[in-house]
Each structure stands twice: as C-alpha cells, then as structure tokens.
Chains A and B, each alone.
Chain A
Amino acid sequence: MSSEQVLLRQGLYADSVTLLQVSRQVGQADGVQAALVGMATELNLDLLAGMGFQPPGAESPNELFIAVRAADQQSAQAAAELAEQLLSAPRRPTGTGAAEQPPRTIGSAAASTGAGLALISVPGQHAFTEAMDALDAGCDVLVFSDNVSVADEIRLKDAAAERGLLVMGPDCGTAVVGGLGLGFSHTLDRGPVGLVAASGTGAQQVLCLLDAAGVGISAALGVGGRDLSEEVAGRSTLAALRMLDADPGTELILVVSKPPAAPVVERVRQAAASLATPVRFALLGPGQPDLTQATEAVLTELAAPAPAWPSWVAEAGGSAAGPRTGALRGLFCGGTLCDEAMLIASAELGEVRSNIALRPDWALDAGLRWPGHLMIDFGDDALTQGRAHPMIDPSLRNRHLAELLADPDTAVVLLDMLLGHGSHADPVAELLPMLAGATAPVVVSLIGARRDPQQLEASARRLHQAGASVFTSNAAATRHALSLLTPGGRS
C-alpha cells in the first residue's frame, strides 16, 4: 500500500531549477516512489496528473505544490517535510566572493559560520550589546570584557537561561571548551575533571596542578568573578554544573571561586548534591583549604595521588642562608593568586596591606607603597584601565619590582608568572634582567602546563639559574617565602 501527500503552499517562490533540485532530493528520500515540487502552473499540474496524482485545487499559478508518493504514510510525511525544509532553508552564501566582507556583528558572523560559541572582548560599555546579539544567534558566550554592570550581567544570564545557553563572564579570563583554551589558558589533556570557575587565575592554578599530576579535564567553564555574589546568585555556576553533569565523560566537578557569598554557596551546594556527578569545592577563605590542597583532595578521590609539586629552590635563597628581617612584598598578575597568598601569609604575619585587601583597614593607598608587608594585584581593574593586562604587558609590575628590590626593608619578594595561551610570549625574558642584581630572595609562582607554548620546565630553569626559587604551587611558593622571614618578621 503506498501513501500520497499533496500539499499547497502560498507565499513561497522558487525558481524552476531550485524546484527541480528539491524534487530530485525528495525523490531520493527513503521509501519515496515519486515526488514533484513545483509552482502550480498548468504545465506542472498536467505533469502531476500524468504521474497519477490527484492535482490540488490551486487558485493561482503562484502557489507552490509538494506532491509525494511513498511506500508508507510515514515516509510520505517525512518526504513532504524534507521538501518544506529544503524550500525554507536559508541559503548560505557559497560564492567565491563570500569572504570579501568580514561580518560586522557577532550575530551576522554566527549566522554565516554556524558558530556555537562567541568570545567577546570589546570595551565594556559595548559588551552587553554584542553578548545579547550572540545569545540571540544561539551561541554560548564568553565575555572577557570587564566594566559590565551587575544588572546587565543578570539580564544576560537570564536571557541565556531562557535559551538554554551559558554566559561565561563578564570578566571571564579563562575557559577550556572542547579542548580549546579561551582567553588566558593552557594546553591540556582531555580527562575526567570538569571545572566551574568564578576565578580566572584560580582556575589556571588548578588546571596546571591537575596537568602536573597527569590528570586531564573535560571542560573548564568560567562564570565571571561575581557569579557567586548575592546579586548574581550563582546563575551561571548552576547552569554550568547542570551542563557538566549531563556529560558522561565528566567524573568529578570542581567549583573554584574567590571568597564567595555564603548564602549563595549554600544554594549551590544544595543544587550540587542533587547531581549524579560528585561536586567538590575550592572556595578561598580564612580557614578553608588553599587551591593546592583542594586539588590534592580531588586527585585522591580520583585515585591519582598528588605528585610532589615541581619546584626549583635557590640555594642562596634557601633556608640555609638564614632568615631575613624586613617585609614580605608580593606582586601579582592574578587576583585569586594574590588572595590565596594573602590568606596564607596573614595567618602568620597578621596585617598584609593590599589594593585588594582582605580587610578594609588593610587597604593600600593609590601610591601602592607601605613600609610593612604588602601584596599588590596588578590585574585589578583600577590598574588595567587603558593598559593591557599584566599577563600580556608586565612593564608596570616590573617597575614596582625594581623599586621594591632597591628598598632595604624588602626581605622577600613573591611573584606570580602565568604561562599559556593569551599570555606574554616569554615573560621570563622580561624578568631576568631584574633578578640579576637582586639582593632580596625572589620566589616565583610559575603557573603553566607542561605543553604550554612558553615551555614550563625551561622557563623554571631560566628563573632558577638567575637565582629565583620557583614553585608550580602558589601556596607552596607563599609558604616558602614566609619561611625566609625571621620569626621576628612574623606575628
């Protein structure tokens, strides 16, 4: 028993060659015995009758008909649907000249390439418009731009939720998606750990430690530093958790954040408890595990015990040389690394002044100078206005470093250095001349993956040869720096 479908459509027009192609494609579909798609001209209707179809009652030759005969009703219907689809499919430009004009909006670029992910790093005041356009085009969005208002962040994340999409950011520095490092990121193996991070450099630290332990990741989804604030209420964190939970390759999810809002964390923990995939947390704060400890716990759970984290300790600056009097001075590119170092250091030293101080009364004034212990985040918004991020351009930090090295009150210097995609092509080369004449010991947190373009191991050795102590764990670097201070320098 064969089944026939004859449909009429108004308001559609296609030239005869297109119709011929559509007819042929539909005719070759599964189970189809005969098919004709055409304008309802007298000629075409005669042709249709000749094929044994009952011609439709078209009122004008400007109507379009779809006629299909197939082995069964299901095939006939599928074939008719295929015809509709072919007729309504937007035609992508394929001509040789198609690439002559680059797209001018995210929406247009997404439509012409079929992209599913948009990365936006336009100036902050324009970021919302581009991000919303990307969501409209069906793309997940990574917003690298900062200076987006909290209200706009919430609007974007709500719009994304309606469309089943994810907004990473604003001010999202790091993500790994489908094996691709976005923003500041690293060359990593695929593996069982999924990361959800409200902290860019915090995520980089965890990713690089996992890499050192030989454990790969399924994805790292940045959500923006404010996502776990009370206002934003974990909108993207919750969405990202659900998305990673749906991935069978993700065996464990780790949530990384700077000190978050407690009620929000509670909600996220509750949501996490209902997922099939175990979720662990690395949330910086007083009394909480540091990022290295949190990573070690994850490794233990995965039965991949943590290795001894690679380090290259300088002999001259080692504990053998004896402790030094004076102040600890930390200069950071990564805000979360600075936070972590301050949490560890202040537990021993008490007051640590900073431009991103742990306590309001520890705030550093705009001159960034203080006779005692201090730690500066050069990646803070106030220090990047009109200037590239210090991971790209370390010159501002290096100027301060020169000044602190010349300061007799500086007992120990602690620095971070981030390798990977997006960062300076050879940050070590910028630092080496400054290490040459340094009298105070210099301790470096070197955050990089084994296969990063800047070469982790070689970078570490160059720094070590120049007299620095190098650690791949920021927590270990901080503790080493503390060990170089005289007990009198401590609380």
Chain B
Amino acid sequence: MSADAHRFTGPAPRLVTAGVSLFAESVAAQGAEVGEVDWRPPMPGTAADLARVMADPRRRPANAEALSRIFGAGAHLVDVLPAGATLGLADRDFLHAGPPIDWSRASGPLRGALMGAAALEGVVERPEDAERLFATGAGYSLDPCHHHAAVGPMAGVVSASMWVFVVEDPATGRRAYCTLNEGLGKVLRYGAYSEEVLTRLRWMSRVLGPLLQTAVRRHGPVDLKAILAQMLQMGDEAHNRNRAGTLMLLRELLPELIDSGAPSADVAEAVRFMAGNDHFFLNLAMPACKVTLDAARDIPGSTVVVAMARNGTDFGIQVAGTGDQWFTGPAQLADGLFLGSFGPDDANPDIGDSAITETAGLGGFSMAAAPAIVRFVGGEVADALAASRRMYEITVGEHPMYSIPVLDFRGSPTGIDVTKVVRTEILPQINTGMAGRLAGVGQVGAGLVTPPAEIFPKALARLAQLAQPAEPG
C-alpha cells in the first residue's frame, strides 16, 4: 500500500467505498474489487465532535498504547484477604457496583444488598432496620467499587467482613479486588438479604475465605489470563458462563486445599460449594479484566473505554482519555429468560460491574465462543456469531490471547472505541443476569442488554473538548 510508490500506475487497486453507491457500481462495472461500506450517518449531533476527535493527532498512538497496555498487563490471583483491612473499610463503609449513587436514587436490589450488608456487619440487628439508617444520609459511606480498584457483580456490595480475591499484574504490582461468588438464586448481590443469605456470607468469611487464602498462598500465583484464554476454547465467555473456568480453578487449588491440614469436612464443603456454582470463576474473571483495563487509564487522547458499570439506576462508562469522569445514562432492562414465574415486570434495570468483562473483550463480545448461552434470549448460534462479529466494528483491536475458535480463532474484539460506537450506532453487547426489582427478591432471570446510547456522545463531547488542536499549516 503506502510503501509502493507505483500503486497508482500499477494493477487496479482494491477499493473500499462509503457513500454514493453509483461510484461503487461504476468501479465494479470496470471489473475491480470493491468493498462497499454499509455507511449510515453517526448518532445525531455528533459530526463536529467526531471530526474534532478524529483530528486529534494523539488519538491513534494513544489508542495503540491503550491496547498494548491492556494486552501486556498480567492478571495473577496472588492472595485472598478480608476486605476491611485490604480496602480500608470500617463497618459502616460500603462499596457498590456502577457509577456513584446515593440511597435516594438506589434501586431495589442495591438497597436490599446494602441492608443485608449492614446486618452482616452488625450495624443493625435486622436488615429491615437499615433502611432508616441509609435514608438519613449520614453515619455511613457509600462509594463505587471502581473507585477502590475493585469490581462487584450485580449490586456489587462489599463490606468489611467479606473476603476478596487479590489479583495482581506481576509486571507493575497493580492490583484489583473482587468478593467471592455466593452462587445463584437468593444471594446478596441480587438484592436478597434473608437469614439464609447472611448465614452463607458468614460461612464464606469464616471458612471459605481463609481456606482459599491458604490454598492460593501454598499454590503461588494463579495465571488468570491463561485460564480465561482456555475458557474461550471450552465454551465459556467468562460473564454468563464460567463453567470451565471454575473447574480449571478447582484443578489448580484442589491439591493445596486437600493438603492444607484444614478439617476435611470444611475442605469438602468448600469444594462442594465452589463446584456447585458454575459462576464461581466470574469473581476472578472480573478483577482480571479490571486490572488489565486499569493499566490503560489516563492516556490523553485515547478514545478507548476502560470501564462499563451499572448501579441498577445508571449505566456509566469511563474512558482512557477522560480520567475518572463517568458518563452516565439510565440503565436499560435486559431482554432474556426469566426464572420460574418471574416476568419482565419483576426485573430491575441493568446492574453490576460485570460489564468489565465486555469492556475487556469477553462476555457478550466473545459470545461466539459460548453458543450454549445464546438460548438465554431464545436466539440461535448464528446470533452469537453475529453478535461477536458486530463487536469488531466498534473495537480497536483483537486480543492476542483470547481467541474464538468458531471465528477461525480470531482474537476477541477488544478495546471499545467511543468514536466507532458513535459512528456506527452499534452498542456494546452485554450478557447479564437480571435482579428482581424489589429489595430482597434475588435473581429473576438472565439475558442481553446494551448501554443507553446517549452516554457515548457525552464521552465524545468531553474528548472533543480535550482534543489537541491539530495546527494546520
């Protein structure tokens, strides 16, 4: 191409066209190869901002840098620790999923999870009593997980006595944290707070956390990216399907658990718990994605999304070139299948930090690797292939480690580019669980969802403000 000085006078070039079809047809009629773009206008009102950002000379190198940092960062499980000391949480400090929110705007499942956590920490006797405390707006703190290098699935509530996985990039020492997965159905992260829920959480802090800590410390660092890469070859997309990942983790840790000297009954219960929960690995996939994406933060000029997160009310994104600013819009309702007799009216809008997997090229972006879960939306395998293919249109690169077998081992689409989303109006495809609308209900289903479209023009407008003037002349 550019290296060939004779490219205009040699054989007919390969051509791509966007716009008037007449010209593509005319070239095709002359016998040349033409790739015609299915061009459509960008999101309304964005043309000037797009031009400004596209003209920023930093954009291309900055996005290449973002991608190289995402690909270059490692993600090793190095420890399991209590959240309180690790994240500096006192008993009235709570973390939650998504962008910042206060109690008055919090959705049912987030309220339910906070009430359960308050009871778990002994701040109140019964979860119901916590409503009054939270409603006063004082005497406690509420902060996004993302502001503490952490991620939480669904409500994502983290409180002091919970235990967290510690995931580290060995090259930089950068860390990310996530709680241990509680299983499905009536669980705190879906907003359930019954005694059954709290009893399980207490057992996790008393038995499971310390056992895993011993096992991980005996084993040494577990390379989570290597597991994620293999999961895609085994039908997991690491968001709604983590079956192979969970088994691979067990394969690593089982010998250390058995050999740890802990009572065999505890070991058996812990293994039974993990093996019985196909989503156990989700809480490792998430911090693995978080630690690699955090490596790409704060690159001036970059249009790559480094976080997508929802708190059940708002959907927010953060972008490499715009610091810690959140661009938010209303969280959407997922389209999917419901458990038991639940229906669409029972579902809460989209919630959780788990969209960090999509941000890293997994989850909905690698849907083609996990055809088994297309049935969540009554779709067919072809829909999974189409969904992943569509995501290549809005990403800057293909992951060198995460490859999708059915797409001829093409690397997963990685690095959502704000400009491409705005230009194509293709929204990121997210696989998700659905929480009940009311506090205390728990999970009601699972399905597919997208961010609200308006947050991308908002992020673009900020990028345009920050764009460097490309000096003509």
Contacts and interface: CB of A to CB of B under 8 A. Distances in A.
B223 A109 contact: no
A249 B11 CA distance: 13
Looking at A95, A140, A152, A177, the one whose CB has the most chain B CB atoms below 10 A away is: A177
Given A18-B409, A121-B18, A247 B8 contact: yes
A110 interface: yes
Contact of A122 (B18, B390, B405, B408): B18
B41 A123 contact: yes
Given A18-B409, A139-B1, A247 B47 contact: no
Interface string A85-124: 0001011111101001111111011101111111111110
B390 to A, nearest CB: 7
Contact of B37 (A105, A183, A422): A105
A207 to B, nearest CB: 15
B16 A119 contact: yes
B289 to A, nearest CB: 15
Interface in A10-28: 11-15, 18
Contacts of A140: 1-2, 7-8
Contact of A144 (B19, B47, B419): B19
Contacts of B22: 392, 422
Interface in A224-278: 243-244, 246-247, 249-250
A132 interface: yes
Interface in B207-242: 223, 225-226, 229, 233
A428 B14 CA distance: 33
A347 B393 CA distance: 57
A94 B16 contact: no
Interface in B50-98: 50-51, 54-55, 57, 60, 71-72, 74
B15 A244 contact: no
A128 to B, nearest CB: 5
A481 B51 CA distance: 47
Contacts, number: 246
A113 B423 CA distance: 20
B9 A119 contact: no
Contact of B47 (A110, A129, A221): A129
B50 A180 contact: no
B135 interface: no
Given A91-B411, A115-B15, A103 B393 contact: yes
B424 interface: yes
B342 interface: no
B14 A102 contact: no
A138 B229 CA distance: 30
A183 B389 contact: no
A189 interface: no
Contact of A11 (B18, B71, B405): B71
A128 B55 contact: yes
Interface stretch (A157-165, A296-304, A317-325, A399-407): A157-165
Q: What does DSSP make chain B's interface, helix, strand, loop or mixed?
A: mixed
B39 interface: yes
Interface in A129-153: 129-130, 132-134, 136, 138-140, 144-145, 151-152
Nearest to B12: A178
Contact of A133 (B11, B54, B226, B408): B54
Nearest to A232: B472
Interface string A148-186: 000110110011000111100000000001111111000
B6 interface: yes
Given A11-B72, A115-B35, A144 B423 contact: no
A382 B8 CA distance: 32
Interface residues of B, number: 79
B454 to A, nearest CB: 19
A125 interface: yes
A246 B10 CA distance: 12
A105 B19 contact: no
A422 to B, nearest CB: 5
A224 to B, nearest CB: 15
A121 B17 contact: yes
Contacts of A100: 386, 389
Contact of B19 (A121, A187, A219): A121
Interface string A325-356: 00000000000000000000000000000000
A165 B2 contact: yes
A152 B51 contact: yes
Contact of A106 (B3, B30, B37, B72): B37
Contacts of A178: 7-13
Contacts of B149: none
A201 interface: no
A464 interface: no
A93 B9 contact: no
A12 B399 CA distance: 10
Contact of B2 (A12, A164, A221): A164
A218 to B, nearest CB: 4
A106 B420 CA distance: 11
A91 B29 contact: no
B138 interface: no
Contacts of B41: 123, 126
A42 B6 CA distance: 51
B335 interface: no
Contacts of A194: 9
A62 interface: yes
Interface string B15-41: 111111011101101101101111111
Contacts of A128: 51, 54-55
A97 B382 contact: yes
18 contacts: A15-B233, A62-B223, A105-B37, A108-B37, A108-B393, A109-B18, A115-B14, A117-B7, A117-B13, A118-B18, A122-B18, A123-B19, A125-B51, A138-B1, A140-B8, A144-B23, A180-B12, A247-B9
Interface of A: 11-15, 18, 60, 62, 88, 90-95, 97, 100-106, 108-110, 112-123, 125-126, 128-130, 132-134, 136, 138-140, 144-145, 151-152, 154-155, 158-159, 163-166, 177-183, 187, 194, 218-219, 221, 243-244, 246-247, 249-250, 392, 421-422
